[in-house]
Amino acid sequence: MAALDQAGMPLARSRLAAVLPGEVNLVIGLAIVLLAIAVAIAAPLLAPGDPYEQSLAARLLPPVWNERGTWEHILGTDQLGRDYLSRLIYGARVSLTIGLLTAAISGLIGVTLGTAAGYFGGRVDTIVTYLVTVRLSMPAVIVALAVVALVGNSFMTIMTVLGLLLWDQFALVSRSMTRQVVAQDYIVAAKSTGASTFKIIAREVLPNILPMVLVVATVEIASAIMVESSLSFLGLGVQPPTPSWGLMMSEGKEQIFFTSWLILPPGVALFVLILGINMIGDGLRDRLAPSE
C-alpha cells in the first residue's frame, strides 16, 4: 500500500517530513564546519604543543586513554615524537585552505563557462559542453598526481591543479540553471529595455543561480579536500613536515603493525569535516527543492 499512498498523496506526508531533515542537516553541517574553521584559525592557541617539534625520547607515545598515556600528549605522539593532537589541529588549516581556495578557482572557471553556455546557447553552448565532456574523460587523480609531481608540490601548485580539474559540476549546474532563468519573462523584459548583456548576467542571472552554485561548491570543496588527502597520502601532495591529515595517515600506515591507532585521528577528522560539508550541501538542496 505504501507505494500507492505516496503516488496518491505526495504532498501531505513528504513536505513536512522532508523539510525537517534538511534543517537538521544544515544545522549539524554548519556546526561541524564552523567548528573546524574556528579550530584552524585558533590553532596556535588550541594546540597543546608545537606540531613540528620532534623528540626522540617521546616517540610513538600512546593516547591518554591508554594506561601508559599522559595528559601531556592527549593523542600521543607520532614516529618522530611530535605531539599528535597539535598536528591534527594544524592539519585543519591545510584541508580547509585547499578546499576553499580550490573551490574558488574551479567555481570561477565553471560558473563563467556554464553561465556563458546557458545564456548565449548555440555555438558557445556546444563548445562548453564539449569541454566538460573532455574534462570528465580525464582521470582527475592521475592527472593531478602527475602534474603535481612534475611541477613540484607547493601549496599553490596543488590548489591550481585541483582548481583546473574540478570545475565540471559548476559548469553543468550553472549552465542548466542559467537556461531556466533566461527563459523567464523578466529577462525578456530586461533585454527589451536595452540592458547590456553584462548587466543582465550580473544582476539577474547570477543572483538566481547562486543557491545551486553554493550546493555544488559544497560538493567540490569536499572533493578537493578528499583529493588533496589522497595526493598527500601517496606522498605526492603536501610535503613533510607540514601537518596534513592525508600525510599523517600515510605516516600512520607505516606503523600499522605496531601502533594501529595512529590512522584513527586523522581519518576521523577528515571524515567528520567532509561529512559536515556534505550535510550543508544536502540541507541546502532540500531547502531549494523541498518536494524532491
Partner 1 sequence: MLKYTVQRLFLAVAVALTVSAISFFLLRLSSDLARTLAGQNATAEQVENIRQAYGLNRPLITQYFDWLGGIFSGDFGRSFYFRKPTADLILERLPTTLLLGFLSLLVAVIVAVPFGVAAAVHRNSLVDRLALAFSALGQSMPSFWIALLMISAFGVSLRWLPISGTGSWLNFIMPVAALAFAAQPAILRLTRAGMIEALGTNYIRTARAKGLPRSLVLFKHALRNALLPVVTVSAVQLGQLVGGSVVIESIFAIRGIGYLAWESILRTDFPVIQSILLIVSVIYVLLTLVSDLLSALLDPRLRNL
In angstroms, the CA 190 to CA 200 distance is 7
Contact assessment for residue 274 and residue 225, using Cβ atoms and an 8 Å cutoff: yes
In angstroms, the CA 74 to CA 86 distance is 9
| Nearest CB to partner 1, comparing residues 136 and 210 | 136
Number of residues in contact with partner 1 under rule CB under 8 A = 54
CA-to-CA separations, 27 to 100, 119, 237, 281, 283, in angstroms, rounded:
20, 34, 32, 11, 8
Rule CB under 8 A: say whether 147 interacts with partner 1: yes
Radius of gyration from C-alpha coordinates of the chain = 23
Cα end-to-end span (Å), the chain: 21
| Nearest CB to partner 1, comparing residues 208 and 230 | 230
Rule CB under 8 A: say whether 113 interacts with partner 1: no
Q: Closest approach of Cβ 131 to partner 1, in Å?
A: 9
DSSP character for 83? B
Q: Closest approach of Cβ 191 to partner 1, in Å?
A: 27
- Other Cβ atoms closer than 10 A to 271: 11
Rule CB under 8 A: say whether 280 interacts with partner 1: no
| Nearest CB to partner 1, comparing residues 3 and 183 | 3
Q: Which residue has the cell 601549496?
A: 155
Identify which range of 5-13, 44-52, 66-74, 115-123 contacts partner 1 by CB under 8 A: 5-13
User: Considering only residues 83, 220, 251, 282, which one is a binding residue for partner 1 as defined by CB under 8 A?
Assistant: 282
Residues at the interface with partner 1 (CB under 8 A): 1-4, 6-8, 10, 13-14, 17-18, 130, 133-134, 136-143, 145-147, 149-151, 222, 226, 229-230, 233-236, 246, 249, 252-253, 256-257, 260, 263, 267, 270-271, 274-275, 278-279, 282, 292
